[in-house]
């Protein structure tokens, strides 16, 4: 079975947890977009009613508008019932993940922190024995003084790559910030590293999601597994 089919299975399984009247966080990325489309289909069919969404990126906002999903904001709804989002790497034993491969990590984390349930949907290729083994940690930094942040991250042991867009220019997030992809290798203590990054002025967010994930939905050739923390 191809990866797209696995992603779709995981996303559609997660949408099965949505109930009418909920405020739903709409995740960003190639797996989460299947959830957005399934949610829209259920709304059109009348199987769900009264749903409002909070998108994690301007790209998802445009997609949701086009599909007819009513949108709201955290100013209007401070608590999100559940969010369905993807991940770049998942450590099952600790329910920690790396996110931000699509560049929406700051908004994704804001939405996750406001969610009663943060449901991560992945295919089994995203599973890892330790975060950092398969994927770099995206770090969103202010454009001012970003070189100082790069040196700080190198001091912590990372190999740094300034993310570029399709035209070879520095990639800018929805907030107009730069993203440094930081290869730390396998991370022995993700929570301790997250704390170091959180304390640094100029680092606006990072892709280590610690103590935020409540559910993980994994699709592989045997079917779909649902794990809860």
Q: Identify whether 108 is a catalytic site residue.
A: yes
Which CATH number fits the domain 3-127+210-219, given the four candidates 3.40.80.10, 3.40.50.20, 3.40.50.1360, 1.20.120.1770? 3.40.50.1360
133 φ/ψ sector (left φ>0, alpha ψ -120 to 50, else beta): alpha
Which parts of the chain have pLDDT scores under 70?
Answer: 1
User: Is domain 137-203 given the CATH code 3.30.70.260 in the classification?
Assistant: yes
Per-residue pLDDT, 90: 98
Q: What are phi and psi of 89, to 5 degrees?
A: -155, 140
For residue 75, give Cα distances in angstroms to 70, 85, 155, 171. 15, 21, 38, 28
CA distances from 30 to 5, 83, 86, 87, 155 (A): 11, 15, 8, 10, 33
CB contact at 8 A, 85 and 56 = yes
pLDDT in tens, 37-93: 999 999 999 999 999 999 999 999 999 999 999 999 999 999 999 999 999 999 999
- Among 104, 112, 185, which Cα is nearest to 138's? 104
Q: Kindly state the DSSP code that residue 46 receives in the 8-state scheme.
A: T
**What pLDDT score does 135 carry?**
97
Within 10 Å of residue 11's Cβ, how many Cβ atoms?
28
pLDDT of residue 1: 66
pLDDT of residue 50: 98
- Residue span(s) of the chain under CATH 3.30.70.260 come to 137-203
Portions of the chain given CATH number 3.40.50.1360: 3-127+210-219
Instruction: Output the pLDDT for position 118.
Output: 98
Catalytic residue among 108, 118, 140, 205: 108
């Amino acid at each position: 079975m191809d990866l797209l089919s696995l992603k779709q299975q995981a996303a559609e399984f997660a949408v099965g947890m949505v109930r009418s009247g909920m405020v739903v966080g709409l995740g960003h990325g190639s797996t989460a977009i299947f959830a957005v489309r399934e949610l829209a289909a259920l709304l059109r069919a009348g199987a769900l009613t009264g749903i409002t969404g909070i998108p994690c990126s301007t790209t998802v906002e445009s997609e949701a508008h086009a599909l007819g999903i009513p949108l709201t904001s955290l100013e209007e709804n401070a608590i999100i019932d559940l969010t369905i989002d993807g991940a770049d790497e998942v450590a099952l034993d600790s329910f920690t993940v790396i996110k931000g491969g699509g560049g929406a990590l700051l908004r994704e984390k804001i939405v996750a922190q406001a969610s009663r349930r943060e449901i991560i949907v992945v295919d089994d290729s995203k599973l890892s024995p330790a975060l950092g083994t398969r994927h770099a940690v995206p770090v969103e930094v202010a454009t001012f003084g970003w070189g100082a942040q790069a040196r700080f991250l190198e001091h912590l042991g990372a190999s740094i790559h300034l993310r570029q867009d399709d035209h070879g220019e520095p990639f800018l997030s929805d907030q107009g910030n730069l993203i440094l992809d930081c290869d730390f290798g396998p991370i022995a203590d993700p929570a301790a590293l997250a704390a170091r990054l959180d304390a640094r002025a100029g680092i606006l967010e990072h892709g280590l999601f610690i103590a935020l994930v409540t559910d993980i939905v994994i699709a592989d050739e045997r079917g779909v597994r649902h794990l809860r923390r």
